[in-house]
Structure 1
């Protein structure tokens, strides 16, 4: 079967790989139908690394997966033909982090398309049923959004947003927009900020207010959620968060890119929390996708075939769209 194999920096090929065997007990086999291109796929393609995760051998890309169950192992009660979203991280289940329910911090998690673990831009994959979520009422393309939306849900949970609170989201890319949907679902009054006018236009089309970066205004926001990874943006976000407010860091910039004013954090009792992926979010993500199907075409409208992926990454044409889905 075909797969998108990254052999080295800027060396991506569509190659033939062996098809998976029948699924083991507790596992399912899924025909992959749609995989979103994520910023991490681009990082590995362009740089071969994200922090300590370094590409040292060929790896299949892709971790935002929607598909259809084609076979099930013993003990699995999910019907063949079910549209599903795949949670891409498989934790050990035994470490202190896993036992506390924070399995996203498991040191031995096996996460799609994170070296040396293969991703899912291929025709079929076997996956644990426990991390395979029925997405009835959604298309596989829509189901693939459960993964990036989960990042937003995790961020909003860390922000502890309540009805009527004001949330400023820095960065109006795919994760920023999906985070805005999650914050809106909690009843927050959401504003998005970006330096790219076209992104703010999309945010406005989704019904959100927008703000030009570095605007001069008094501190006002209950929570600032950074989805940009920009040190400049976070520093500005600290200036506009209210006393006692929260700063949530989602975007992953270069090491040392974000610098906060520690004295100000103390004097105004501003709390800071980091977000790494997510845990226990997929059911909520799928439900929110069902409720907001009206806006999902913004994220699912641009689609390419697997064979087009190398050229898409080489030219950067995906940057002209809110989201690009690879269709298998």
Structure 2
């Protein structure tokens, strides 16, 4: 099979690799699509010892002896390698499993290869009405922000009762905006330094966030910070109202130092970090997708083959695409 090796320094090599073999509790997946994610940028720049890719859809082609899932099942892949036995796993909160021993696409080979072996418990079957390319959106683009927003609602009330601001209109920010709309939030403001991304947010129903922040009153009960950079995080702290919540979705390897000030000390608010969604929210996430299907599909900005993966990562890192997908297919005759 073909697989993409991330060598670092923005170089990706396509290699011929032995197909994996499913164990008794595993399934062999023929990968259909794998979505590019902002966290892949680190691997694109620094390299990876394993094949990356963690927003994966595909079809089961073989099941292990202990697995009831049938060949031909369409599915998406849940990436935390949870134990399935602890209290958190038994209640469906698999993202909180204290025994997670890795992630698909990080410690276990990911979706930038044609075939993939994963534990059967990490397979989420897709309903018949959701296609394999749409299924990719159910993972980081919908699942992660939806879980974070649900956490925030426990502190500040349901999104339908207030307004929200989105800082950063990449896939997580735009996904958050559409999740909020599906949950009934009517007043959503957005900010991004890139005019085309902000324009897409506005075309999908957001209002432009008036800046500079210091000239406006902090009135937002919910702020979603989806950039991971210092400026975005500080802007979120400035705009959240007392008693509100800042949902931290943006990732960065750089440390975040919160500088104390009288204004910040006196702001009684919540800072909430969401890692990934639990399996007990999957059915609700299907409903969110169906509610805003046409808008979510507009986030799929490009579809290319595995041979396009290096160019597509360069475009993605330059901010030229939102949620590009690699469509896995057999192209052995094209590889030299």
Interval containing the TM-score (normalised by the shorter chain) = 0.7 to 0.9
- 1:241 is matched with 240
Q: Structure 1: where are the runs of 5+ without partners?
A: 49-54
- 1:167 is matched with 164
User: What is the distance in 2 between the residues matched to 1:285 and 1:4?
Assistant: 30
- 1:42 is matched with 41
- 1:63 is matched with 54
Partner residue of 1:121 out of 90, 103, 112 = 112
1:102–1:217 distance in 2 versus 1, CA, 3 Å? farther
1:300–1:79 distance in 2 versus 1, CA, 3 Å? farther
User: What is the distance in 2 between the residues matched to 1:104 and 1:63?
Assistant: 18
Contact 1:231 1:259 in 2 (8 A): no
- 1:229 is matched with 228
User: What is the distance in 2 between the residues matched to 1:104 and 1:214?
Assistant: 38
1:298–1:159 distance in 2 versus 1, CA, 3 Å? same
User: What is the distance in 2 between the residues matched to 1:112 and 1:325?
Assistant: 17
- 1:179 is matched with 176
1:80–1:212 distance in 2 versus 1, CA, 3 Å? farther
- 1:218 is matched with 217
Structure 1 residues 181-190 or 90-99, which shifts more?
Answer: 90-99
Pair 1:294 & 2:299 matched: no
1:156: how far off?
0.6
Superposed CA RMSD: 2.5
1:146–1:79 distance in 2 versus 1, CA, 3 Å? same
1:177: how far off?
0.6
Contact 1:83 1:138 in 2 (8 A): no
Q: Secondary structure at the match of 1:282?
A: helix
User: What is the distance in 2 between the residues matched to 1:287 and 1:75?
Assistant: 31
Contact 2:19 2:115 in 1 (8 A): yes
Q: Encode CA deviations 1:133-188: one digit per residue, 9 max, x unaligned.
A: 12221111110111112111122122115122111111110110111122222222
Pair 1:284 & 2:277 matched: no
1:213–1:18 distance in 2 versus 1, CA, 3 Å? farther
Structure 1 residues 161-170 or 194-203, which shifts more?
Answer: 161-170
1:83–1:93 distance in 2 versus 1, CA, 3 Å? closer
Pair 1:81 & 2:77 matched: no
1:103–1:296 distance in 2 versus 1, CA, 3 Å? closer
- 2:332 is matched with none
Q: Secondary structure at the match of 2:150?
A: helix
Q: Encode CA deviations 1:113-137: one digit per residue, 9 max, x unaligned.
A: 22x4321211111222222112221
User: What is the distance in 2 between the residues matched to 1:223 and 1:35?
Assistant: 31
User: What is the distance in 2 between the residues matched to 1:150 and 1:255?
Assistant: 25
1:298–1:260 distance in 2 versus 1, CA, 3 Å? farther
- 1:208 is matched with 206
Q: Secondary structure at the match of 1:110?
A: coil
Contact 2:247 2:272 in 1 (8 A): yes
- 1:112 is matched with 104
User: What is the distance in 2 between the residues matched to 1:152 and 1:108?
Assistant: 21
Contact 1:62 1:113 in 2 (8 A): yes
Structure 1 residues 76-85 or 268-277, which shifts more?
Answer: 76-85
1:16–1:237 distance in 2 versus 1, CA, 3 Å? same
- 2:256 is matched with 257
User: What is the distance in 1 between the residues matched to 2:120 and 2:78?
Assistant: 10
Q: Structure 2: where are the runs of 5+ without partners?
A: 329-336
Higher strand share: 1
1:184–1:304 distance in 2 versus 1, CA, 3 Å? same
Pair 1:91 & 2:82 matched: yes
1:299: how far off?
2.1
1:7–1:157 distance in 2 versus 1, CA, 3 Å? same
1:301–1:82 distance in 2 versus 1, CA, 3 Å? farther
Structure 1 residues 34-43 or 279-288, which shifts more?
Answer: 279-288
1:235: how far off?
1.6
1:128–1:102 distance in 2 versus 1, CA, 3 Å? closer
